[in-house]
Every structure is written in structure tokens, then in C-alpha cells.
Amino acid sequence: MKSFVDLNLKTPLINGLEELGFETMTPIQEEAFPVILSGRDMIGIAQTGTGKTLGYMLPLLHELKYAQVNDPRVLVLVPTRELVVQVTENINQYSKYLNLRVLGIYGGTNINTQKKAYADGVDILVATPGRLYDLIISQTVNLKNCKKVVIDEVDVMLDLGFRFQLTNIFDHLPKRRQNIMFSATMTDQIEGFIKEYFYNPEKISIAVSGTRLENIEQTAYAVENFYTKANLLMHLVSDREKFHKVLVFVGNKKSADRLQEVLSPHYGGEISVIHSNKTQNYRLRSIELFDSGESRILVSTDVMARGLDLDKISHVINLNVPAFPENYMHRIGRTGRAEEKGRSILFYTEKEKEDKENIEELMSYKIPEIEFPEEVEISKQKTPEEKPVVREIFNPHKVIEEQRGAAFHEKSEKNSKTNEGGSYRRIIAAKYKKPKTRGDKGVNRRRKK
């Protein structure tokens, strides 16, 4: 692997990387550097945790020179607030010894505060598409000097419905610019976006989605239902030494809150929860507590699967099987980062068996199964989603129209009456009739004569 020193980077940039302890480049960093430095449009297909942020920022920082302009010259678009915070922090670390202004903007916070921060001047802007579009419409952000655009996790952006905002943002960018896109998957929607806005892009594929991560040990349990999954989870995490930093993925916000209710009596202060209904401060605080080790278990939804870059995660536990196999790859990619050993555990019910098989087909790998522990209670309690839906095929009490009594028809006739404005208004109108003239204009005319 190539060393960062071999790239002949600016001395301040080399100093920043050395301080962070970076020595050798990852494959995506090594292949992306010359392409981005050449100014050519680029599409990178790489799994999460492969060093993409440094991969696209390193050549951009090396090339970016000091300029006395207040509007951004580099734009980085990411799908979630957490990713804005993370990427902004990373860029500030890389450019610690460079005289650059980096700003992150996202929704869910006071827009006026962000307008004031932007007014102080920006060199590199990191943003979510929704909030950036709002600031462009309010004529706060001007992208006329922005010649470098990075779209990170574009597949997630399109899944979250940001196509409209992305299209409008690109319409406000200069025609002559360099486009850089990173994604874990390639879909028809992404291909259409590339054809519309990219010019003859270079495509780089490193560990494409579906490639099994060799350094992650994967196992699976067949489980009856949600509450039995919760019992199994409590049984596993009771070993605090082995399960010292556990990231638990659930299918939706309801499941996250439901799991927190079950676990809190046993592991109260050790649990943090993040999903899109939580406030931004709550989410950031939850991540901080988990990252620092103050909380041991972090429960998260798929929206957060790619907005988290946390070190030393001992286990990723999938409480449900994601419907899209690629999401499973993103989830387990949270552990075993930087070539460390990681562990992933999948809980699946009979209904989720087919989704599990789709994941195994994608990876070309059969996930080893572990026998369900005898000491774990199999719960009979079911969530509303798990309860069977009762459909009435024949209802003997159902009354057909002809059999309804007189009361129903009287009520129906009563309800068919029109509203005439109330009895008092009708009585007054009948008593005084409608005036022949409006106001006293006619009277005044006669008096003048």
C-alpha cells in the first residue's frame, strides 16, 4: 500500500495526517487520488468504512488554494445530520494546519444561526440537501464560485426522497465544475442522475456492496418474535466484558422505542437510542455517550446506518432482518473498522427467513447459526404488527339496507335538510322584508335635490 508521504502533499496537510496517525492509504484513497486531482468527474463504488471521506477530501484539500472569497469553493452533500457533523469534524482534523473555513449545515436547527455563520465566510460547505436548498431559495447561499462538488452516500439521499433538492441544487451550480460521487450501490435512479449531470466520469469500484467483509465474524439465531428477541438480547449483553460496545439495529422508530422500554429496567443508563423522531441534540448526545463509553448499548434505525463512524464497536446486533440485503452490509460495516476484528449477530423469525436467504445470496455466504439458548424465555407476548389480522368473512349481525327500521330513514330524511341559516334569521327576514335600496344613497340624493 502507498504511503501518504509518497504523494508530495503540502507540508501543512502532511502534518495534519501525521498527527492523526495516518500512514498508508486504503485502496479507495489510492485509486481516487489521481482521478480527483486530474479534475475529471468520478464515481466511487465502495463499502462503508473504507476511508471514503479522506479519499475525496485529500486531493481537494491539496489543490485548494487560499482565496479572498466568502462563498464556498467546495460543496459536500451528505444525507443525514449525523454525517454532516462527522464529515465537518473530519475535514477540520485533516486541514488543521491549513487556513480554511469549514461549515456544516443541516435541518432541525435554527436556520438564522446558520445564516449568520455562513455570512462570516465559507471555503468548504458540508450540507444536507434539504437545508441547503432552503438557504439557496432564501438567497443566503451563493454557489457561483463552487467548482468542486461531492455527493456522498447518494443512494441513501435518493432513498430519502432528496431527488428534487439535488436537481435544484445542481441547477444553481456553475456549468464548469468537477463532480465526485460516492455510493455503496448502483441503481437505475443513480445511473439516470449521472447521465444528466456528469461528463465522461471515471468509475472506481472497491469492495462493492455484497462483498463479504472477511474481518467480521457473522452468526445468526432463529427467534420466535420481537419480545423473545429482546430476551435473547438481554441474555447476550449481560456479559459486559465481551459485549462492551454494542450497536443494535432495529427496523423502525416504534421498535427502537419499544426495545428501550424493555431494556431500560435492566440496563437503564447503559442504553442510548437514536432515530429520526429524536431531536438533533438528543441524537448527538446519544452518540457522544456511546462513543465515550458512558453508555454501552446504542439502539438505532437504518437511517443512521451510514451516519455513524464509531470506533471499537465489539458487536453489531441486527434485531430484524433488513428487507434490502445491501442495508445488512452497511449495518455490519459499523464493526470491524480499520481492519480490526468485528462481530455481527442476526436475529430472524420465520417470516424473515426469506430476507436472510437474500442476504446470504448477495454475499455468496451462509451465515452460521447458533442454537437458541435454553435459559432464554420464549415470550408469548406479541407486538401489534405480529398479531394476526382478524378478517370477518361472514357477520350474522350485519343488517342489509331493506331491513333497517323507520328510525334510520327518519334520521336520514332529517339529515338531508338544507341549512337555512337558523330560525331567528329566517323570522327577521320575513318580518322586515329585503330593503329596496342598499344603504341610504337614494335618500341622500333626494335630499340634495
- pLDDT at residue number 432: 66
Record the cell numbers describing residue 360, joined without a space: 446470504
Give the integer Cα–Cα distance in Å for 371 and 329. Answer: 23
> What sign results for the dihedral spanned by CA atoms 436, 439, 440, 446?
negative
Enter the DSSP assignment of 144: T
Q: What angle do CA 211, 304, 107 make, to 5 degrees?
A: 135
Instruction: Please name the amino acid found at residue 53.
Output: T
Each residue's pLDDT tens digit, 144-195: 999 999 998 887 787 667 888 999 999 999 999 999 998 876 667 788 888 8
Are the C-beta atoms of 80 and 128 separated by less than 8 Å? yes
Q: Is the pTM of this model over 0.85?
A: no
- pLDDT at residue number 292: 86
Max Cα distance, the chain (Å): 109
CA distances from residue 18 to 12, 31, 218, 361 in whole angstroms, order as listed: 10, 21, 34, 41
Query: How far is CA 47 from its chain centroid?
Result: 16
- pLDDT at residue number 401: 47
Residues with pLDDT less than 70, the chain: 1, 47-49, 159-160, 185-187, 207-213, 280, 303-309, 338-339, 390-449
Compute the radius of gyration of the chain from its Cα atoms: 30
Are the C-beta atoms of 259 and 250 separated by less than 8 Å? yes
- pLDDT at residue number 182: 86
The strand pair at 202-206 and 148-152 is best described as unpaired
Domains parsed from the chain with CATH numbers: 4-206 (3.40.50.300), 216-363 (3.40.50.300)
- pLDDT at residue number 91: 95
Each residue's pLDDT tens digit, 349-399: 999 999 999 999 888 899 999 999 999 999 999 999 888 876 666 666 555
Record the cell numbers describing residue 444, joined without a space: 341622500
CA atoms within 13 A on the CB side of 20: 20
- pLDDT at residue number 418: 60
Lookup result for grid cell 462493492 = 208
